[in-house]
Amino acid sequence: MNLEEYYKAELISESENSFEYRITFNPLHPIYKGHFPQQSVVPGIMQLEIVGHLLNKKLQKNIQLQKVKQIKFLIPILPNIPELKLLLQYKVEHFLNATVQISSEQGIHTKILAHFEIN
């Protein structure tokens, strides 16, 4: 799956163990219409895929999602939202432990606590 067909990400800040991206979606892509036909949304699994994709790209390592400890969908993410911010903080121990917050002007949309394996 080529995730760049579905969204664009622009790095806006980074520090030693965190980075923040500006995210925009391609609202015309058919993938969004299939989840809820009356109201297109960005599926939760796609949000997790985006997090993994950005980690792989940024850290230049093969990272695989192993476990989602907690995920909260607080406000649906509509693909036509002009801009979202994805803040990812991580700590590498035996696994890469990630804390993610996806937000917009509307507020916090999604919070994720997850473990990724580094290969």
Task: Give the CATH number of the domain where residue 113 resides.
Answer: 3.10.129.10
Q: What is the pLDDT of residue 59?
A: 87
Phi, psi of 45 (to 5 degrees): -65, -35
- 30 lies in some domain: no
- 19 lies in some domain: no
- 8 lies in some domain: no
**Cα(20)–Cα(55) distance, rounded to whole angstroms?**
11
- 16 lies in some domain: no
- 14 lies in some domain: no
- 92 lies in some domain: yes
- 32 lies in some domain: no
For 61-88, write each residue's pLDDT tens digit: 889 999 999 999 999 999 999 899 999 9
Domain count, the chain: 1
Q: Are 55 and 86 in contact (CB under 8 A)?
A: no
What domain range is 61 assigned to?
41-119
Please state, for a pLDDT cut of 70, what percent of the chain lies above it. Answer: 96
- 96 lies in some domain: yes
The per-type count for the chain, helices as H runs and strands as E runs, is 1, 6
Kindly report the pTM of this predicted structure: 0.90
